[in-house]
């Protein structure tokens, strides 16, 4: 089988990092992206033992940086088969009237516009080849709205819509587009949401067994390794203790 190359945004932590690890074990060549350079270098050192790895350090909000990064790829990484649009976070958890406009900007700029910018930089080569795979990491927050989730939920509803839009527009170009919508996954997500308040972040995952990043990564690997005529459109994945965005069976 031809070796595939995957471009993973948000590879420095959580779901993106776990996906990089599983892809590496399965001989998928990796382009790992994120802002934290030190973490990218560490991951490159570790995963280069298993597969070919290169890293790109950029902020998904910076269009020019994305284009320059993609242009700078070494020749053997220039053909991108799989794009994992994973970079994103929640910033804050406040009622709509109390929300911080900086947090709103961050979520819309990163989760929505960042995903669009990265896709725009990579899709043309897939269209030209008539081949490619895009996996968009949405959220249960893109299917439901929960108290104080307002703008994060709106950003993930946008990802849900863009996932459908991409599949429709790219269908004639033989490009597969899938979305995975996790419930609670124990990553650095809540640390970011609560601006480094570790205790508050830990509390989110207390009293039940949350999903781990590897659980989602295994599913992403399953999705991208289906035969070429199979496209899994949309998956919601919960921990067993969770039944909806707000119903969680905690001890």
Which chain residues interact with ligand 8X3 by CB under 6 A? 139-141, 149, 184, 245
Q: At what angle do helices 115-129 and 63-71 cross, to 10 degrees?
A: 40
209 binds, among ligand NDP, ligand 8X3, none (CB under 5 to 8 A by kind): none
Task: In whole angstroms, give the CA distance from residue 113 to residue 115.
Answer: 5
187 binds, among ligand 8X3, ligand NDP, none (CB under 5 to 8 A by kind): ligand NDP
* Phi, psi angle pair for 183, to nearest 5°: -85, -140
Torsion of Cα atoms, 186 then 190 then 196 then 200, to 10°: -90
- Closest CB to ligand NDP among residues 34, 132: 34
Shortest distance (Å) from residue 42 CB to ligand NDP: 12
Is 238 a catalytic site residue? no
Q: Report the half-sphere exposure of 138 (CA within 13 A, side-chain side).
A: 28
| Those residues with Cβ within 8 angstroms of residue 65's Cβ, 6 or more apart along the chain or in another chain | 58, 59
In this structure, the strands spanning 132-137 and 211-212 are unpaired
Provide the binding-site residues for ligand NDP, judged by CB under 6 A.
9-16, 34-36, 59-61, 86-89, 110, 137, 139, 182, 184-185, 187-189, 192, 213
Shortest distance (Å) from residue 129 CB to ligand 8X3: 32
Q: 67, 117, 152, 205: which is the annotated catalytic residue?
A: 152
- Closest CB to ligand NDP among residues 127, 154: 154
- Closest CB to ligand 8X3 among residues 29, 139: 139
In this structure, the strands spanning 234-237 and 175-182 are parallel
- Closest CB to ligand 8X3 among residues 14, 132: 14
Shortest distance (Å) from residue 239 CB to ligand 8X3: 11
Bridge partners, 132 (sequence order): 175
239 binds, among ligand NDP, ligand 8X3, none (CB under 5 to 8 A by kind): none
Shortest distance (Å) from residue 2 CB to ligand NDP: 28
Q: Report the half-sphere exposure of 211 (CA within 13 A, side-chain side).
A: 24
Shortest distance (Å) from residue 34 CB to ligand NDP: 3
86 binds, among ligand NDP, ligand 8X3, none (CB under 5 to 8 A by kind): ligand NDP
Task: In whole angstroms, give the CA distance from residue 9 to residue 231.
Answer: 21
245 binds, among ligand NDP, ligand 8X3, none (CB under 5 to 8 A by kind): ligand 8X3
Q: How far is CA 124 from CA 172, 173, 185, 210, in A?
A: 13, 10, 32, 37
Torsion of Cα atoms, 109 then 112 then 115 then 117, to 10°: -60
- The catalytic residues are 152
């Amino acid at each position: 089988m031809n070796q595939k190359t995957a471009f993973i945004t948000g590879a420095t932590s959580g779901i993106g990092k776990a996906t990089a690890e599983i892809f590496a074990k399965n001989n998928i060549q990796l382009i790992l992206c994120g802002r934290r350079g030190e973490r990218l270098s560490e991951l490159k050192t570790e995963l280069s033992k298993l597969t070919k790895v290169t890293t790109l350090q950029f902020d998904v909000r910076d269009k020019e940086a994305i284009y320059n990064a993609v242009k700078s790829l070494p020749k053997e990484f220039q053909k991108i088969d799989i794009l994992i649009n994973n970079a994103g976070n929640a910033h804050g958890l406040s009622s709509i009237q109390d929300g911080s406009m900086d947090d709103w900007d961050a979520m819309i700029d990163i989760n929505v516009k960042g995903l669009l910018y990265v896709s725009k930089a990579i899709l043309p080569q897939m269209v030209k080849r008539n081949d490619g795979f895009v996996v968009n990491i949405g959220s249960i927050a893109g299917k439901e709205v929960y108290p104080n989730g307002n703008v994060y939920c709106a950003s993930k509803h946008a990802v849900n819509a863009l996932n459908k839009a991409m599949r429709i527009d790219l269908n004639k170009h033989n490009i597969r587009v899938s979305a995975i919508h996790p419930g609670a996954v124990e990553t650095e997500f809540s640390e970011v949401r609560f601006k480094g308040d570790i205790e508050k972040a830990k509390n989110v995952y207390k009293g039940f067994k949350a999903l781990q990043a590897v659980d989602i990564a295994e599913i992403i690997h399953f999705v991208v390794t289906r035969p070429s005529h199979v496209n899994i459109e949309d998956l919601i994945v919960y921990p067993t203790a969770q039944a909806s965005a707000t119903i969680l069976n905690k001890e």
